[in-house]
């Protein structure tokens, strides 16, 4: 397994895997997992939407996929990265998704339509993690070289840069 994410209600656990699958485990009953198999390569990130209805997964196939956890159907597939996706993060209100990639970018998407809104550039190496601030105004990203960028989530402009 490469990543884990609890559903907001704590009843389900999603796990990402190098075999290209995402498993949804029912932590209350121990029932056999639901298995999502739409990625074409290793899956390195999973994240539940704040309302718990959707699950997003990022893969080395360069895609981010959002699927409806109730129907098990793909809602949308984002194809804007030129390399694998290491990390994803939902905005606090569930409207947007941020994805971090080996292509050295952070991309912002309209969560349920897949419309690409912004691309943040400035990292000198692959971006390994991304996170929204609790109020949704900022996005932090970190690259392999230990450089943290803080971005204005609305404009995409860099607010500050920190070298670790």
- Spell out where the chain has E strands: 3-6, 12-16, 22-26, 34-36, 43-48, 54-59, 64-68, 73-78, 85-90, 96-101, 105-110, 116-121, 127-132, 138-143, 147-152, 158-163
Segments making up each domain of the chain, as ranges: 3-163
Is the whole model's pTM more than 0.75, yes or no?
Answer: yes
β-bridge mates for residue 80, sequence order: none
Query: What is the rounded average pLDDT of the residues 62-74?
Result: 92
- Using pLDDT thresholds of 50, 70 and 90, give the confidence band for residue 163: confident
Query: What is the rounded average pLDDT of the residues 70-77?
Result: 90
- Rounded CA separation 62/79 (Å): 7
Element (H, E) at 28: none
pLDDT tens-place string over residues 78-132: 999 999 999 999 999 999 999 999 999 999 999 999 999 999 999 999 999 999 9
CATH architecture, domain defined by 3-163: 7 Propeller (2.130)
């Amino acid at each position: 397994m490469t990543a884990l994410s609890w559903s907001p209600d704590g009843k389900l656990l999603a796990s990402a895997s190098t075999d290209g699958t995402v498993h949804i485990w029912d932590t209350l009953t121990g029932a056999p997992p639901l298995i999502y198999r739409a990625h074409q390569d290793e899956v390195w990130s999973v994240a539940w939407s704040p309302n718990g209805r959707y699950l997003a997964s990022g893969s080395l196939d360069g895609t981010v996929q959002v699927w409806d956890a109730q129907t098990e159907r793909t809602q949308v597939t984002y194809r804007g990265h030129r390399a694998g996706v290491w990390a994803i993060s939902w905005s606090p209100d569930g409207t947007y998704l941020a994805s971090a990639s080996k292509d050295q970018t952070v991309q912002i998407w309209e969560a349920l339509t897949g419309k690409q809104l912004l691309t943040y550039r400035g990292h000198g190496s692959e971006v390994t993690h991304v996170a929204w601030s609790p109020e949704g105004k900022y996005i932090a990203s970190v690259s392999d070289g230990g450089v943290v960028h803080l971005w204005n989530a609305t404009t995409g402009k860099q607010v500050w840069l920190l070298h670790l």
